Amino acid sequence: MSLAPWRSPLSHALERNRSSPESCYFQLATIRPDGTPANRTVVFRGFLDETNQLKIVTDARSQKVKQISALPHGEVCWYFPITREQFRLQGPLTLVDSYTPNRALQQARCREWQQLSDSTRRQFSWPDPAAPCGDRDDFSPPVLDTTQPLPQFCLILLNPITVDWLELRSEPHNRWFYQLNGDRTWSQQAINP
């Protein structure tokens, strides 16, 4: 797949905001089964191979995984403080967990595990997230296999179908809307901020 037209401004934003460590975090919104929104900060782990899909890693026991399993759709909201730009990327989410049969996706999940720092890998061995806090010894570091992910380690992929890019630096502000068409081409349009 060719690179979507929004990839170029997003790459520039990442490049120009390199000195701000927060620019590799964004908010991922999902939908609870009762229709209410759920939102949280996650780390941007790059794009899946040659696709336009954003990678996120998480724990299978987290609420977001339950939400995505029931309703696989989400939106990322990403603010770049140095250049004062916001990207909102919306589309279907793919959950890659230990049961995913697709070989290429399973390999991508393993690669992601291998690239984590030891301290991040260890977080996946912690007791159930959001359960009442018990014995602090339950958090003591185990010896982990750096090649094979723990079963609770998941890769999430966001495949954007619309992207809304807002630039606050100019007066008036600039805003562009990108949309994936039925024939897999992208259309783009400057819109009012």
Ligand X SMILES: Cc1cc2nc3c(=O)[nH]c(=O)nc-3n(C[C@H](O)[C@H](O)[C@H](O)COP(=O)(O)O)c2cc1C
Residues that bind ligand X (CB under 6 A): 25, 38, 40-43, 56-59, 62-64, 129
Closest distance of CB 182 from ligand X, Å: 32
DSSP one-letter string for 83-105: TTEEEEEEEEEEEE-TT---HHH
Closest distance of CB 88 from ligand X, Å: 18
- Taking the least distance from each CB to ligand X, the nearer of 13 and 186 is 13
Contact 121, 13 (CB under 8 A): no
- Taking the least distance from each CB to ligand X, the nearer of 25 and 139 is 25
Closest distance of CB 76 from ligand X, Å: 12
- Taking the least distance from each CB to ligand X, the nearer of 38 and 110 is 38
- Taking the least distance from each CB to ligand X, the nearer of 59 and 167 is 59
Determine phi and psi for 140, rounding to 5 degrees: -65, 140
| Residue 189: partners with Cβ closer than 8 Å, 6 or more residues away | 176, 177
Closest distance of CB 21 from ligand X, Å: 9
87's tokens:
């990207």
Closest by CA position to 108, among listed 161, 160, 69, 50: 50
